Amino acid sequence: MARFVLERVISAEPAAVFAASLDPGLHVRSMARYGETMVEAPAGGAFREGSTVTWRARHFGIAFRLRSVVFDIDPPHRFCDRQIAGPFGAFLHEHVFDEHPQGTLMRDTVTFRSPFGALGRLVDRLFLREYMRRLIDERNEVLAAEIEGRGRTLTA
């Protein structure tokens, strides 16, 4: 399985960063560059324990659908989401929010596996891990900019 960890300090309290990270609208705004939309929104319009959502996005010129579930919510410290249907052989994203002297240390740990056995592992190692790391980093930049009141910094 491929894995990477990203850390970013955000100038806001952990509760604010936690809440923003669970906002489906903010997620869509952060992924606008990839044309990501919600095909199926979470019940009640916000992510809660057991919420499911279906996303549609375009990567590498190919349209993808990914259905995920949110679980292990521990406000304002942690939550996870994982793919339950979609293009990955497996996909898990752990979000952790720790107090930091400048606000919140947000840590994303992403673990995934492409389908197709050995060929998928090679693709993960040579290309997809770095692509996914950049994608999550871009998402986090938009999230931080909105929380810190800097406005959106990435353009589609």
pLDDT tens-digit map of 44-89 = 888 999 999 999 988 888 889 999 999 999 999 999 999 999 999 9
- Rounded to the nearest 5 percent, the helix, strand and coil shares of the chain are 35, 40, 25
Identify the segments of the chain with pLDDT beneath 50.
152-156
Q: Is the separation of the CB atoms in 17 and 142 below 8 Å?
A: no
β-sheet with 37-40: strand ranges across: 2-10, 103-113, 90-100, 78-85, 62-74, 52-59, 37-40
pLDDT of 103: 97
Q: What percent of the chain stands above pLDDT 70? A: 96
pLDDT of 119: 85
- The domain locations on the chain are 2-147
pLDDT of 100: 98
What's the rounded Cα separation, in Å, for the pair 142 and 104?
15
Q: Is the separation of the CB atoms in 46 and 21 below 8 Å?
A: no
Which residues face 92 on adjacent strands? Answer: 82, 111
pLDDT of 151: 55
CATH 1.10.10.10 fits domain 2-147: no
What's the rounded Cα separation, in Å, for the pair 143 and 30?
7
Q: Is the separation of the CB atoms in 141 and 134 below 8 Å?
A: no
